[in-house]
Structure 1
């Protein structure tokens, strides 16, 4: 997975549902990112296979980071972050599938964050048709809040080339994303989901 230059954006940037990523010929925003295929290696009348599903793993879409110590109330929050709606596209050439994804991360500074910086990490994994993770990479993110800013939108642009012996297998692959969480953060997300 190749990371393109990241762009921290102010909170007043376009909402996730209005952004698109235009690196390849076909581009559109999808809530669950079921991407449509594009390409010409399948002949003029044969449509290319669909693109693989890309989604954020359940319970790994948000995180709350507290300051060190036992406190876990609102005054102890350093920041909260959430992965927004993904945008992306894909294309096929003679022997590979190329996937491009835009990952928006919404970050809110908490009362305990006197440093005015949020540091977090998320991962992207590629799963083959059998469910085996064939590639995984983590990406650190650091966002500095301006003096009058309590919210920020960080956008990452990623590309992955997946060699394929059979191009028709492309739709059976999956792209999985999520935050790298501690066990405590994971349990916190599970509790929130049950409410």
Structure 2
């Protein structure tokens, strides 16, 4: 003999009350779900990712005698975005710094960097190069570069699938040297007392 427990126990009056109570309690949930149907209510698209390309984040340039002329780095970038009906506008602050080496011959230091925008498939949509000149008369110098990119997007596309990538515009030899350097395993720290 199979026994089935009826979880809906109660008088017909109580059963009807439960249905009305469930309807009243479920009303806010139904209203919030109805709001989800409207694409403009509660939807906030994300900003595209902003990043410095690791293998293009630094450059060391040797002088004529093989000693170091200068080293330039991009320590960080910060970005924010603002949406409009036609797309998203990215504004970034990129920090660039440099220090001179024994083979540096003096004068302002010209550097070139790129800003590329990629889509969800990591295909490059645009790439621009910019120049910055640093005053390194004291042995080091830096700059904060303010950048703006506009990415045309339809209103239903989320910008989080796009990237704004920056780095130094390197020669093939400089890029290869950075890739070799960045692929080396880290040196373990020496324990104290040895």
TM-score, structure 1 normalization: 0.69
| 2:48 counterpart of 1:52 | yes
Report the counterpart of residue 80 of structure 1 in structure 2: 71
- Report the equivalent of 2:128: 137
Matched residue pairs, number? 146
CA 1:103–1:57: 2 relative to 1, 3 Å: same
Q: What's the RMSD between the two structures over aligned residues? A: 1.7
- Equivalences for 1:175-190 in 2 at 5 Å? 175-190=164-179
Higher RCO, 1 or 2 (CA under 8 Å, sep at least 6)?
A: 1
Higher-helix-fraction structure = 2
Cα drift, residue 49 of structure 1: 0.7
In structure 2, the gaps of 5 or more residues are: 1-38, 186-194
TM-score between the two structures when normalised by the length of structure 2: 0.69
Name the CA shift for 1:119/1:165 in 2 (closer, same or farther; >3 Å). Answer: same
Structure 1 gap ranges (5+): 1-41
Please tell me whether the aligned partners of residues 78 and 118 of structure 1 are also in contact (alpha carbons under 8 angstroms): no
- The one of 151, 154, 157 equivalent to 1:162 is 151
| Separation (CA, whole Å) in 1 of partners of 2:104 and 2:156 | 48
Q: What residue in structure 1 maps to residue 141 of structure 2?
A: 152
2:84 to 93, 105, 110: 93
Partner of 1:63: 59
d(CA) in 1 for partners of 2:156 and 2:174?
39
Say which one has the larger Rg.
2
